[in-house]
């Protein structure tokens, strides 16, 4: 496995220490999103998934694209990635090594707020063929049921609110405030909809960057108290509940 390139330093890394949990508990993106991207890209030969993490988006892309290059500056994240015969994982930042005008799509899933957007756009311009598409998306705070949601909201905004990195504001804005040089499409609404038991949901919450920073500063007391309060409203830990994550997408032909 090659070492990270110099561009990897342009990424903020809050997740290497929890890569296995990230791979296990982070939600998967809807199949319909990848169908949409494939229909609007000028072809489906090659896609680059930048900041792939464990490949949550890369594997979905591989169902519609012949080849996917999935890069992440974190060796720990790549080591926990989901294998797929059409996905090549590489520890890298923005130096893809791809030939000029060789790709039809560049994606950034739940990672744009951690990276140097100018460096991303430079490489995307180099590797995308004419008409190539840049797509970035993120998901905001999930919804389950009102009695549970109010506890999650309080934990998110108050208990660990001070521990969110400042870049989190870009997610709160649905990436609308990020300047992207694209001819933007009016993307239909997409949601991530999944089923989680209580241990799975708590495992997901523990992957939040703010929770990891809170744990390092204050220990597990706040997280354990949250788990107890959620448990009282969730019911039996084995109960599977529907969890919905609203997706916020920016998609368009790169100018």
Q: What's the number of CA atoms in the CB half-sphere (13 Å) around residue 12?
A: 15
3-state DSSP assignment of residue 225: helix
Contact 155, 208 (CB under 8 A): no
CA 219, 223, 228, 230: dihedral to nearest 10 degrees? Answer: 180
Please name every residue paired with 241 in a beta bridge, in sequence order, or none if there are none. Answer: 196
Q: What is the pLDDT along the chain (255 residues), one digit of tens a residue?
A: 233 343 344 656 645 556 688 789 999 999 999 999 999 999 999 999 999 999 999 999 999 999 999 999 999 999 999 999 999 999 999 999 999 999 999 999 999 999 999 999 999 999 999 999 999 999 999 999 999 999 999 999 999 999 999 999 999 999 999 999 999 999 999 999 999 999 999 999 999 999 999 999 999 999 999 999 999 999 999 999 999 999 999 999 999
pTM of the model: 0.91
**How much is the pLDDT for 114?**
94
**How much is the pLDDT for 22?**
77
Token pair belonging to 125? 């311009």
Token pair belonging to 215? 């744990």
- Spatial distance between the Cα atoms of 73 and 20, rounded to a whole number of angstroms: 16
- Spatial distance between the Cα atoms of 61 and 77, rounded to a whole number of angstroms: 18
Complete domains list, the chain, with CATH: 6-254 (3.40.50.150)
3-state DSSP assignment of residue 54: coil
**How much is the pLDDT for 82?**
92
Q: Measuring CA to CA, which residue among 211, 241, 207, 245 is closest to residue 226?
A: 211
**How much is the pLDDT for 6?**
37
The region, left, alpha or beta by phi > 0 then psi within -120 to 50, assigned to residue 107 is beta
DSSP 143: B
Residues in CB range of 40: below 8 A, 6 or more apart: 133, 185, 251
């Amino acid at each position: 496995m090659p070492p990270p390139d110099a561009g990897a330093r342009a990424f903020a890394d809050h997740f290497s220490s929890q890569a296995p949990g990230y791979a296990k508990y982070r939600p998967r993106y809807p199949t319909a999103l990848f169908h949409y991207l494939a229909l609007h890209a000028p072809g489906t030969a090659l896609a680059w998934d930048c900041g792939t993490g464990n490949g949550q988006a890369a594997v979905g892309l591989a169902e519609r694209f012949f080849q996917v290059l999935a890069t992440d500056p974190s060796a720990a994240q790549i080591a926990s990635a989901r294998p797929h015969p059409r996905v090549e994982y590489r520890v890298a930042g923005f130096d893809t090594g791809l030939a000029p005008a060789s790709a039809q799509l560049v994606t950034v899933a739940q990672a744009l707020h951690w990276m140097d957007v100018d460096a991303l756009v430079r490489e995307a311009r180099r590797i995308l063929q004419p008409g190539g598409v840049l797509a970035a998306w993120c998901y905001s705070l999930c919804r389950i049921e009102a009695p549970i949601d109010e506890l999650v909201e309080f934990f998110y905004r108050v208990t660990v609110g001070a521990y969110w990195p400042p870049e989190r504001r870009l997610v709160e804005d649905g990436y609308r405030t990020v300047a992207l040089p694209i001819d933007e499409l009016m993307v239909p609404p997409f949601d991530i909809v999944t089923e989680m038991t209580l241990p799975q949901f708590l495992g997901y919450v523990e992957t939040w960057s703010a929770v990891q920073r809170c744990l390092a500063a204050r220990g597990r007391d706040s997280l354990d108290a949250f788990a107890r309060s959620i448990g009282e409203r969730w019911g039996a830990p084995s109960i599977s509940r529907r969890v919905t994550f609203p997706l916020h997408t920016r998609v368009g032909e790169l100018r």
